Amino acid sequence: MHRRTLVLGLTALCVSRFAIAQPARIPRIGVMMMVPIQHVFVESFRQGLREHGYIEGKNIQVDYRSAEGAVDRLHAIAADFVRQNVDLIVAGGGTASARAAIKATSTIPVVFPVSADPVRSGLVRSLAHPGGNATGQEFFDIEMSAKRMQLLKEVRPKVARVAVLADPSVAVYREQVSATRKAADTFAIEVLILDIRDPGELNAAFDAAVKWRADALMNLASGFLGVHIKQVLDLAQQKRFLALWSDRIYPDAGGLLSYGADVAYLYRTSARYVDRILKGAKPGELPVEQATKFELVVNLKTAKALGIAIPPAVLVRADKIIE
């Protein structure tokens, strides 16, 4: 009897020690992007993970995938993450990416770092109570149209025609175009919407803007245009356009100026959602946060090269001046 008790006791002790010796399971997340993996947005997200104590390869596994600007690739990436049974999907790249992730799964949590109007887009039921398996941040790009038109008027008061680079594959394309036309009417500006679906169409789009005699150039936020930023900026400078961009990645890369939400910052802060969900929070109970950090960035080096004088009233408001 004592021998049996001893054997059982030793067995239980061994099992207990074995359980203790087992390493804790490392969570796995999949990150979908429209831009290349070597992009500032990805590095900003990684910074956010580090700020919350996550070290890739040690206490978290992260699989990064890029659609390289092609919306149709997002669904395949999302489906693969579901097959891998990741613990969470970060749908970077805007509304289209979030839609692809939500379509692929209704159970795996989805975090979208940026989205324009996530309620109207069907990503969440409401900002305060998302309700499903997704949550994230809204960045108000559609609402920026009026401010950007006003800024163009400040830089060049006589501006009357603005060519607008647009990507029809963006989930909120119609809303973007509608807001832009409405803003242009407010300032008595004509707009020419130039739809671009392929990098091979960029040259023709810029030629059309020149032929139309556009006084200035704008873009509507698009992961596709961000992927091909070098070609876009090279053409803008070759045609010597007064160009106002949607995000600071453009002036940082040599563009003239930008006004909009600090998207890199939003990627960084989205790691907070990842942390809370991995610790047990339900995405449907985490309110969608709205961007509060907007910035005006001016590249004076580019302005000088193009012979464009940026008014002091604009420079004094700039959050960053590149010289």
Does residue 301 form part of some domain? yes
Does residue 17 form part of some domain? no
Q: How far apart are CA 3 and CA 188, in angstroms?
A: 96
Answer yes or no: do 176 and 269 share one domain. no
Q: Which domain holds residue 134?
A: 28-140+264-293
Residue 20: the pLDDT is 52
Domain harbouring 225, CATH code: 3.40.50.2300
Answer yes or no: do 184 and 246 share one domain. yes
Q: How far apart are CA 130 and CA 270, in angstroms?
A: 15
What tokens were used for 73?
Answer: 């690739």
Share of the chain above pLDDT 70, in %: 93
Residue 23: the pLDDT is 59
What tokens were used for 51?
Answer: 């700020």
- The predicted-structure confidence for 126-167, as pLDDT tens digits, reads as follows 999 999 999 999 988 888 899 999 999 999 999 999 999 999
Cβ atoms of residues 142 and 175 within 8 Å = yes
Answer yes or no: do 89 and 229 share one domain. no
- The predicted-structure confidence for 222-279, as pLDDT tens digits, reads as follows 888 988 999 999 999 999 999 999 999 999 999 999 999 999 999 999 999 999 999 9
Answer yes or no: do 181 and 192 share one domain. yes
Answer yes or no: do 108 and 160 share one domain. no
Higher pLDDT, 6 or 308: 308
Does residue 38 form part of some domain? yes
Answer yes or no: do 224 and 284 share one domain. no
Give the C-alpha distances (Å, rounded to integers) separating 166 from 29, 220, 226. Answer: 31, 5, 12
Confidence of residue 1 (pLDDT cuts 50, 70, 90): very low
Q: How far apart are CA 297 and CA 71, in angstroms?
A: 28
Q: How far apart are CA 246 and CA 294, in angstroms?
A: 11
Does residue 237 form part of some domain? yes
Residue 224: the pLDDT is 87
Answer yes or no: do 221 and 157 share one domain. yes
Report the pLDDT averaged over residues 161-186: 93
Answer yes or no: do 211 and 312 share one domain. yes
Does residue 206 form part of some domain? yes
Residue 50: the pLDDT is 98
Helix, strand or coil, per DSSP, at residue 76: helix
Residue 121: the pLDDT is 87
Answer yes or no: do 184 and 93 share one domain. no
Answer yes or no: do 157 and 250 share one domain. yes
Can you give the pTM of this predicted structure? 0.87
Q: Half-sphere exposure of residue 123, counting CA atoms within 13 Å on the CB side?
A: 33
Answer yes or no: do 147 and 181 share one domain. yes
Answer yes or no: do 130 and 149 share one domain. no
- Residue 4 predicted with pLDDT over 80: no
- The predicted-structure confidence for 62-99, as pLDDT tens digits, reads as follows 999 999 888 889 999 999 999 999 999 999 988 999 99
When the pLDDT of each residue in the chain is averaged and rounded to a whole number, the result is 91
Cβ atoms of residues 244 and 256 within 8 Å = yes
